[in-house]
A = this chain, B = another copy of it.
């Protein structure tokens, strides 16, 4: 297998894009990425998206998006793994270049949720869980996260204000980020005073509905002397039902994907200078820090509260705001994370820059820890 580089990235701002279609958003990000990579010769397009079938009555996004950017004849397809779709599509794109089958691949994620009613969005997100045994009960994705959040507090004695600090850090980091949906600070008091969405999760601990697209160009690493290289990618899945798991405060898929990604990259946890984790609610961010292996089990919330994940801290995490503050257009989110790591390693993160970052890791989740994609990038 040959090494693969991230040759270009393109991001749209995440917000309620009433005036833009799924295609418009994708094309905007994709053309920026092509421009950034200085090429328009691509062999394949991988599109990641979760909800277009029910939110836009649209499938077959591979061919649609290849056409939208003026490409005919090339390979194009859609990859779906719920909210891990972006990370998983990246994994596929890397394989395509590593195998030698393609020399230039565009991996782009897109999601447009603002057009839909809240119930339609909740129903689309619930499709990450089993419709016959779980979703039909009416439980929402947020309701399931609340089970984990409550059990975590009970088991480890974590306090609500410590877990809420994950959202505080995200909002601190989003300030100045041009593609962030909510680039402003929020206090822990404000978060804990916000309405309960699904007890014990407060409204301001949840990522919100947003539209956006992120695109990345992959090329063989030997073509560039410097830049950002894909050190490894890994995907793992766990029991589909929360009820089958031994311990709902542990995301085993994260442990497996991380173990494989670290081994394949030949780096250790202390080599990671910058980290992006999947905080669709605060608790998944905290659990992810632990199951990725950066913090002892049960100590994640305190670790965050102590300031370790701040941009100037020991482990700068979600340095553009994370899902909470940068935004979470689900099918695109994993690619925002990877693009952000690439920007950090290129030293182009602007006010979000972590000085001297050389190695970074992005982790995204589909369902409640059911699918996990881990990507490690390094500066060459």
Contact = CB atoms under 8 A, between A and B. Distances in A.
A128 B59 contact: yes
Most buried by B among A61, A101, A135: A101
A39 to B, nearest CB: 19
Nearest to A235: B75
Interface in A136-150: none
Given A57-B123, A135-B57, A236 B73 contact: yes
Nearest to A102: B95
Counting every copy of the chain, the complex holds 2
Contacts of A100: 1, 99
Contacts of A132: 21, 23
Interface residues of A, number: 65
A123 B54 CA distance: 11
A68 B239 CA distance: 9
A25 to B, nearest CB: 13
A88 interface: yes
Contact of A238 (B56, B61, B73): B73
Interface string A58-94: 1111111011100111111111111000001001100
Contact of A237 (B74, B79, B91): B74
15 contacts: A1-B99, A50-B59, A56-B131, A57-B135, A60-B127, A60-B128, A60-B129, A60-B371, A67-B237, A73-B238, A73-B252, A75-B237, A76-B237, A77-B81, A95-B101
